[in-house]
Each structure stands twice: as C-alpha cells, then as structure tokens.
Amino acid sequence: MIEINGVAHVFLTVSEWEKCRAFYETLLPFLGLKHVFSGKDNIYYIGGRTGVGVGRCEETHARERFVQGGVGLHHLCFRCRSREDVDSVHAFLKTQNVSIVHGPQEGPWAPGYYSVLFEDPAGVRLEVNHVPGKGVFEEGPGFNPAGDYR
C-alpha cells in the first residue's frame, strides 16, 4: 500500500470551446491559479497544490452538453480557505454568463460545509466550498457520504 499526496491535476474536456475557454481564463486566475500553458485547443493552470486543464472536445461531440450523473465526472469542487471566499466567488459568478445552480448555502456533507454550485458554458458542474479545519478528512462525526450533490 502507498499513501498518495493529493490530486496532481484534473483535465476537463468541453464543448462550447470559445465560451468555456474565456470563462476558465477568467475563473481560474480569480481562484488564484497561475497560467502555465495555452494552446489552440487547451489551457492549463496550477495553484493550491493541483493543476487544472481545460480542452476542446473532439468535433464529433462539439454540440453535446455535460450530463451530470452520466459516466465520468459528476462535478469538480475547489476548496476555499473561508466562507467569505465562497461569497466572493458567488459575487464573481454573478458577473459571468453562467448558470448558478445554488448560491452560497450550508450543506449536510460535513460540519460547517458551505458552498456555491454552478455550471460552465458547456454545463460542467463546478463547486467552490469551505469546510472548517480538516472537515471530513478527519473522518469525524457529521460526515455524510450519501449526501445529495445535485
């Protein structure tokens, strides 16, 4: 057995490339990630001990939208350092042309769980949350693995 040291990176493949690219080129720096690479069909940012890449989907999927609950990614969640950070992200999102599924609210998944849930222009679900302390990484009381993330 080994013990991993977190998630190195996640790479999202999106339709609506031009809209998504512009959105992520604004969102990721707002979240404190630094630009590493931009190509014709993909971008890559790092920060918070992880990397986030976004790329154009294959042409055969260009008219499709993300389906939460389908095979693959359910949603991607960025963890903030404070509730105020979540509120700041919400204020930022209101200036963007994206769907906000729910504004900042508490959730049952861990004590103090506070998040905003939204979609990129291709419908990929994204969340920004704050959990005080180590949250469920402590596996303490209040952990709810069966919580509804929709």
Return d(Cα 7, Cα 36) in angstroms, integer. 17
Separation CA 76–CA 126 (nearest Å)? 5
- What is this structure's pTM? 0.87
pLDDT 10s digits, 85-128: 999 999 999 999 899 999 999 999 899 999 999 999 999 999 99
Domain ranges in the chain are 9-57+75-135
Pairwise CA distance, residues 127 & 146, whole Å:
17
Q: What residue type is 100 in one-letter code?
A: I
C-alpha to C-alpha distance for 115 and 105, rounded to whole angstroms: 6
One digit per residue, the tens of pLDDT, for the chain of length 150 reads 988 888 899 999 999 999 999 999 999 999 999 999 999 999 999 999 999 999 999 999 999 999 989 999 999 999 999 999 999 999 999 999 899 999 999 999 899 999 999 999 999 999 999 999 866 665 544 444 544 444
> In the CATH hierarchy, which fold is given to the domain comprising 9-57+75-135?
2,3-Dihydroxybiphenyl 1,2-Dioxygenase; domain 1 (3.10.180)
